[in-house]
Amino acid sequence: MKVTIDGFPIEVEAGTTILNAARMIGGDIVPPAMCYYSKLEGTGGKCRTCLVQVSKGSEKDPRPMPKLVASCRTTVMDGMEVKNITSPEVIEARKGVVEMLLINHPLDCPVCDQAGECHLQDLGYEHGAAKTRYEFDRRTFEKIDIGDKIQLHMTRCILCYRCVFVADQITDHRIHGILNRGDHSEISTYIQKAVDNDFSGNVIDVCPVGALTDKTFRFKNRVWFTKPVEAHRDCENEKCGGKVTLWYKGEDVIRVTARKDEYGEAEEFICNTCRFDKKKTSDWVIEGPRKVSNKSVINSNHYDTLHPLPVVKTNPVLIEANKEQFERETRL
C-alpha cells in the first residue's frame, strides 16, 4: 500500500497505522505520541497529540476525512495522502492539545526526576505556546507510594493509560487503574495496595511524564549529569531479556532502565530484579556507551567542549558581553 505523508511517499503493509508509516519515513514529519506505545496492544487515541489531517482518503475513495484523525489508531489505505506539519489546522490543534495537557500539569520540572527525558517537556518545547492562558488553581493530589520501589505523583499525570496497559499485558495481574471521571480522574490502586510484581517496574519506563518514578533513584541526580551505558546480564527470569541501560554517576550505577528507542519506547521490558536490585558494575556485562542524540539535554553536559554557543560566536555584541565569562570558563 502506498501512502504519502507530507509529500513523502512510502510503501507499507496493510494494517499499518499512519503513525508507524510516518516513523518508517522518520524525521520531522513523525507526529508526537504521548499515549501510544507500539509494544503495548490497544494503546493510543487518547492524548490527541498525534492528530493529522487526511487530505485524501484512498485511491478508491479520494474524499478527505472530515475531522482530524488520531494517526496512532488510523490505519492507512492505498493511495492515502496525509498532512502533518504541512497542515496549519494540525499545527493549531496540536498546540491546543499541548496547552490542554499542561493546564493541570504542575510544571515542577526543576524538582522532577523525569526532567531531561520527559516527553511532555519535549512536546511543550516543540509544539506548545510560551505562556499559558490558564489562570486557575491546578488540580493536585497527594503523592502515593505504590510498593516500596515506585512512587506515584498523580499531579503530574497526563492520563495516557500506558501503565494500565503494562499491568494488563506485561505483569500477571493488574491492581491499579483509573478511578473517577473527567479531570478529577486519577491513576490509583484500591486502598493503595502495593504494586508488587516481577514486571511492575516497567510502569516507570512507559510513563511519559514524571508521574511514576523510581524510588531508588528519586532525587539522586539530574538525568543530564548521569552517563548512560548499554549493558546486559543473564537474567534468571525467563521473560526478561536482561538488556538494559545503566545510568552512571562517576563510578556508581545509580539507575537501571530498559533500553529506549528514538521514540522513547522500551525495546524490551525488564524485570524488577534487573531494575532495582542489580546496581553494581560487576552484575553486568558492559557493551559500551549509549548513543544519545546530540539534540538531547542528556548529551549537553558530558561531551560539551568549552566553546561558546554558536549564536554567541557570530554576534559581536554578545561576544563582548560574554567575554568575562568565556575567560573564566576557558580557565576552568
Partner 1 sequence: MARKLLLEHINVPGINTFDVYRSKGGYAAVEKALKTLSPDDVVEEVKKSGLRGRGGAGFPTGMKWSFLAKPEGVERYLVCNADESEPGTFKDRYLMTYIPHLLIEGMIVASYALGAKTSYIYVRGEMMPQIRILEKAIAEAKNKGFLGKNILGSGYDLELYVQPGGGAYICGEETALLESLEGKRGNPRIKPPFPAIAGLYGCPTVVNNVESIAAVVPIINEGGDEYAKVGIGRSTGTKLISAGGNLRKPGVYEIDLGLPVEEFLYSDEYCGGIANGKRLKAVVAGGSSVPILPANLFLKTINNEPRLMSYESLADGGFVSGTMMGSGGFIAYDEDQCIVRNTWNFARFYHHESCGQCSPCREGTGWMEKVLHRLEYGHGKMSDMDLLVDVSKKIEGNTICPLGDAAAWPVASAIRHFRDEFEWHVTHPHEATTRNFGIAHYADPLPKLEEAAS
- Sequence-distant (6+) residues with CB within 8 A of 303 are none
Q: Are strands 144-146 and 212-214 parallel, antiparallel or unpaired?
A: unpaired
Instruction: Tally DSSP H helices, then E strands, for the chain.
Output: 10, 14
Residue from 10, 25, 103, 109 in contact with partner 1 (CB under 8 A):
103
The site for partner 1, by CB under 8 A, has a size of 32
Q: Is 48 in the site for partner 1 (CB under 8 A)?
A: yes
Q: Is 185 in the site for partner 1 (CB under 8 A)?
A: yes
C-beta of residue 33 within 8 angstroms of C-beta of residue 47: yes
Q: What's the min distance (Å) between Cβ of 168 and partner 1? A: 12
**How far is C-alpha 249 from the geometric centre of its chain's CA atoms?**
22
Distance in angstroms (rounded) separating the CA atoms of residues 281 and 121: 31
C-beta of residue 247 within 8 angstroms of C-beta of residue 256: yes
The DSSP element (H or E) to which 88 belongs, if any, is helix 88-103
Residue from 1, 12, 18, 93 in contact with partner 1 (CB under 8 A):
93
Burial of 168 (0-12, 13-18, 19+ CB in 10 A): middle
Q: Is 15 in the site for partner 1 (CB under 8 A)?
A: no
Residue from 57, 96, 106, 308 in contact with partner 1 (CB under 8 A):
96
Q: What's the min distance (Å) between Cβ of 25 and partner 1? A: 24
Give bridge partners of residue 75 from the DSSP assignment.
17
Q: What's the min distance (Å) between Cβ of 210 and partner 1? A: 17
For the record, the C-alpha cell of 295 comes out as 539534540
Q: Give the residue among 67, 103, 114 at the shortest CA–CA distance from 218.
A: 114
Q: Is 182 in the site for partner 1 (CB under 8 A)?
A: yes
Q: What's the min distance (Å) between Cβ of 262 and partner 1? A: 24
Q: What's the min distance (Å) between Cβ of 46 and partner 1? A: 5
The DSSP element (H or E) to which 216 belongs, if any, is none
Closer Cβ to partner 1, 160 or 231, answer by number: 160
Residue from 87, 104, 226, 273 in contact with partner 1 (CB under 8 A):
104
Sites for partner 1 among residues 226-245 (CB under 8 A): none
- The 126-155 contact track toward partner 1, x by CB under 8 A, reads -------xx-x-------------------
Residues that bind partner 1 (CB under 8 A): 44-49, 51, 67-68, 70, 73, 93, 96-97, 99-101, 103-104, 133-134, 136, 158-159, 161, 178, 180-185
